[in-house]
Structures are given as C-alpha cells and as structure tokens.
Chains A and B, each alone.
Chain A
Amino acid sequence: MEDSEILELYRSGEEQQAFNLIMRKYNERLYWHIRKLVCDHDDTNDLLQNTFIKVWRSLGSFREDSRLYTWLYRIATNEALTFLKKKSLKANLSLSDYSKVLENKIETDSSFNGDYLQLALQKSIAKLPPKQKLVFNMRYFDEMKYEDISEILNISVGALKASYHHAYNKVQESLKQLVEV
C-alpha cells in the first residue's frame, strides 16, 4: 500500500488500522536504521517503540510538508541521536570517545554473524562521528538518494556529498589499517 493511501485511511477515521500498516511497512527498515547507530538490540528495541509511539501521537498533525517515509526516518534519527548524546553524557564521555564503547559492543555482540572484513568495516564505521555515520549508513548500505537524505537530516545535498566523501575516506583508511594488522 502506498503512503498516500495509508494517510487517506488515517483521515477517514481508520486511525488504528492506518497506524498498523505504517508499523508493518517500516518496522524493519527503521529497526536497522537505529541499530546501525546504537549497535545494541535492546536499545534499538526501546528506541523503535518510542519512535512509533511518537509517530502515533503526531500523525494527526502531520501536514505532508515532507513525505511520510522521510518523516518517519527523521523521528527515528532524532530518537537515536538524542539517545547517544544522553549515553555519552551519562558516561562522562564525548561523542567521539563514546564511539570506542560502540566498537567494543560490536566485538562482543552475539548477534554478529559476519566475517573478519565485515567486523573491521563495522568497527571503522563506529569510529565516525554520529552524523557522518548516519550519512555513510544511509548512502552506502541503504543506497538512499542524496535528496531523501537531505530531507531526513535537513542538510543541503552539497553538504551531504562532502560529508559522505569524508566518511568514505575515513572508513576506507581505517579499514586498510585493520586489515593490514
């Protein structure tokens, strides 16, 4: 079902049904979007639930200035970034120092099924600042268009391209070092 049809259903009074359709359509994509940022299943579960609760509360005031898909991603992204900030503050660490905590999480994650190269890639991505990590994940793994990423993160396409370029080079450099060792 198209997003516009779901929204039409919501406006016709079938709010619960429309919301169920949104969850079914986007739960997996949003789950992985959050999980790639916070690197932990339990944290991802909490953040995903909070995201959908916020979606339910705000759906009535959604004006379609942006597309439903980018609006959902924006809510999930904000939830994840706020969570990371809170976590780093709680641990009395800067966000860049907190990335080391995330690297360790990946190494000890029992749900990681990849090979050595994939592990090295994930550790290299974990080293990136949160916003560069976001851009890299959305472009490299999800192959999103720059225009969509721009709508989600509210950053110009030019700035996004530069950010992705930086992130790409950093990951490649880090990956090289890890593979050489």
Chain B
Amino acid sequence: MEDKFNNILDNPELKKNPFSIPDGDGYFVKMEDDVRSKIIVPERHHTLLTYLKPALGLICSFGLIYGVAYGVLSMTGSLSDETPESIEIIENGYLSSSFIDHFNEDMEMSRMEGFNHDTDSIAEEDIVSFLTSELTPAELSLIYADVLK
C-alpha cells in the first residue's frame, strides 16, 4: 500500500490532460482572428482632406484662440472705440484749449501785474475830454448834478 502511494505520480494516466477546451477545435482559429483584429491597424486612405486636415486644424485653433481672447477683452472692457486717431484728436483739442486758456490767464495776470495804482492814475482832463466826447449834454448835466450833491 505504501509503495502504491509512493509511486502514484509515476502512473502514466496521471500525465494525461483531463481538461478540454469549451469552444472545441475552432477555439484557436477564433483566438488567432481576435488577436489579429487587435494588432492590425486598418490602412488609411490618403485623400486631399487627409493632407489638409493638419493645416485646417491649425487655422481653426488660431481662430478659436483669437475669438476667445477678443471675447475676454470685450467683456473686461479693455477694448473701446478709441482708435489711435481719435485719441490724437482729443489730445490735440485738449492741448489747444488749454493753451488758449493759459494764454488768456497769462494775459490777464500780466495786465493786472502791470497796472500800478500809484503811477498809472488817469488825469482829470482825460476824464473830462472822454466824457464830453462820449456823452450827450443832458447826460453830462445829470452827472454834474450828482457830483454837486
């Protein structure tokens, strides 16, 4: 009995494969087809579109990026109607108006600064001659009456 168990693995029947393949003989043909379908890349047909595709893709990408950038700038208000020309006109206008204003102010200031009450008083004769030339006798008599009061 002991010898029988010790040599049990020497039994040639045990070396036979007790399993079968469920799918039968066709299994290996199907398996090979499955493998081939997974490894073989279908051949590509080269048409004009195949060659143009990369360039078209590039153009579309640029268009998309430009569109997005324009949209973002419009929404944030970074874009306005002020073209360089319009900016120049405004600046020139500002400069000219401010120059005139400053010029006038300077003129007034210099006139005021140049006037001296002590030295530049008007003579009485000049006043009389101005009034007689500019006013009628009636108006003059009224002024004279006011002065006498």
Contact = CB atoms under 8 A, between A and B. Distances in A.
Interface of A: 16, 19-20, 23-24, 27-28, 31-32, 35, 41, 45, 48-49, 52-53, 56-57, 109-115, 117-119, 121-122, 140-141, 168, 171-172, 175-176, 179
B19 A140 contact: no
Nearest to A19: B39
A52 B35 contact: yes
Give the dominant DSSP class at A's interface. Answer: helix
B148 to A, nearest CB: 129
Contacts of B121: none
Question: Size band of the B side of the interface?
Answer: 20 to 34
B20 interface: yes
Interface in B3-50: 5-6, 8-9, 11, 13-23, 27-28, 31-32, 34-36, 38-40
Nearest to B23: A41
A48 B18 contact: no
B5 A27 contact: no
B38 A175 contact: no
28 contacts: A16-B40, A20-B32, A20-B36, A23-B32, A23-B35, A27-B28, A41-B23, A49-B34, A53-B39, A57-B39, A110-B22, A111-B19, A111-B22, A112-B19, A113-B19, A114-B16, A117-B13, A117-B14, A118-B13, A118-B14, A121-B9, A140-B9, A141-B15, A172-B5, A172-B8, A172-B9, A175-B9, A179-B8
* 6 A-B pairs with least C-beta separation: A114-B18, A118-B18, A52-B35, A176-B5, A56-B39, A111-B20
Nearest to A42: B22
Nearest to A57: B39
A119 B6 CA distance: 18
A171 B9 contact: yes
Contacts of B31: 27, 45, 48-49
A49 B6 contact: no
Contacts of A19: 39
Contacts of B28: 27-28, 31
Contact of A109 (B17, B19, B35, B39): B19
Given A27-B28, A141-B15, 11 more contacts: A16-B40, A27-B32, A32-B17, A53-B39, A112-B18, A117-B8, A117-B11, A118-B14, A118-B16, A140-B9, A172-B8
Nearest to A24: B32
A160 B1 CA distance: 30
Given A23-B35, A111-B22, A121 B40 contact: no
Contacts of A117: 8, 11, 13-14
Which of B5, B19, B27 has the largest number of chain A CB atoms within 10 A? B19
A53 B41 CA distance: 13
